[in-house]
Amino acid sequence: MTMLTTPKVPIQNQFAADVRAGLTRAGQKELPSKYLYDNLGSALFDAITLLPEYGLTRADERLLQRHARDIATHIPAKVMVSELGSGSGRKTRYILNALRVHGPLSYYPIEISSAALATCEAELCDIESVSIVGVESEYLSGLTEVAKRREADTHLFVLFLGSTIGNFDAGADAKFLREVRNILRPGDSLLLGTDLLKPIEKLIDAYDDPRGVTAAFNLNLLGRINRELGGEFDLRRFEHIARFNEATNSVEMHLRSKRVQTVNIKACDCSIDFTAGETIWTESSHKYAPESIEQLASASGFALKAQWTDDRWPFANSLFVAV
């Protein structure tokens, strides 16, 4: 695999600054959900995707498997594919396989973690006539770098799968897609995965599974702060909770302090007081109303060209075209 890198802020300093800002702010304490994905967190997320209660990833995969050829009919033969957050690369195989019949292509997975890029390369390197260029970077700076390498007659096809878009706060999803759009040219396309609204009980089961895998995934964020920032969290003094916020249509994950306690974090040079029952908000996972996706497209400079939905687990993969 060839590698492309972009200048970046030393990750550790940024992590310490974000943790400090999120835990010392007035009101609801919070931590950015992107920090859930260190090596252990990524492995726990992979386990979540196998849980019977978490249908999201299977729905996404069914859609891509079934409709990859149909999706490919919308994409010109001279194409460069880039993916925001490649994950394991398993779902992407279907798309690359459907596109390569039109001729050789290059694939640029963008990931902040080099470990994830390596997994993705191992999973996909055997696909004939596809060359992989890993981009170790944040999404937008990585995509800018990819767009620079594109020739005049080449279409840029961006994949943003798995409903990662749902982790952005209200309004920030359209803002992010607008920034993606600004890197593209009119006619370029984006395949966007979005989890759809479904009954609340189903959602809570998916985010608070009886085996406790999601709880382990969430609590690992405190473990990561201990390991990387000299935090002194006792993970047994916190519990995982998942709740549905009806005002924002999002499943929220929190970590709730079981008692009054104070926790030191050396690298942040701070100590944090918790009251009994106080929570740290660690993730929001927005669930889209089917009609809202077209609005999301037009609010961010795209038109909705085609859409595929799963009926067993409401989920949509939508093809947006830059206008």
Residues lying near ligand AVJ in the complex (CB under 6 A) are found at: 48, 56, 162-164, 166-167, 207, 214, 253, 283, 285
Q: Which is nearer to ligand AVJ, 181 or 286 (CB)?
A: 286
Nearest approach, Cβ of residue 51 and ligand AVJ (Å):
9
C-alpha distances in Å from residue 68, one per residue of 63, 95, 286? 8, 5, 25
Smaller CB separation from ligand AVJ, 22 or 193: 193
Give the Cβ contact number of residue 147 at 10 Å.
17
Output the smallest distance, CB 313 to ligand AVJ, in A.
Answer: 12
CB of 219 to ligand AVJ, least distance (A): 12
Reported residue count of the chain is 323
Query: Count of CB atoms within 10 A of residue 304's CB?
Result: 16
Q: Which is nearer to ligand AVJ, 217 or 274 (CB)?
A: 217
- Tokens for 147, please give them: 């767009």
DSSP codes of every residue in 214-240? HHHHHHHHHHHHHHHH-B---GGGEEE
Least separation in angstroms between CB 53 and ligand AVJ: 10
**Minimum CB separation from ligand AVJ for residue 307, in Å?**
18
Toward ligand AVJ, which CB reaches closer, 69 or 211?
211
The distance of closest approach from Cβ of residue 54 to ligand AVJ in the complex, given in angstroms and rounded to an integer, is 7
Cβ proximity to ligand AVJ: between 49 and 72 the closer is: 49
Query: Which of 163/279 has CB closer to ligand AVJ?
Result: 163
| CA atoms of 286 and 129, how far apart (whole Å) | 37
Q: How far is the CB of 100 from ligand AVJ (least distance, A)?
A: 27
| Nearest C-alpha neighbor of 288 from the set 9, 100, 111, 56 | 56
Q: How far, in Å, CA of 64 to CA of 66, rounded? A: 6
For residue 56, give Cα distances in angstroms to 156, 292, 306: 26, 18, 20
Cβ count within 10 A of residue 283: 22
Q: Sign (positive/negative) of CA torsion 12, 162, 117, 148?
A: negative
Of 105 and 206, the one with the shorter C-beta distance to ligand AVJ is 206
Question: Which run of H or E residues covers position 83?
Answer: strand 79-84
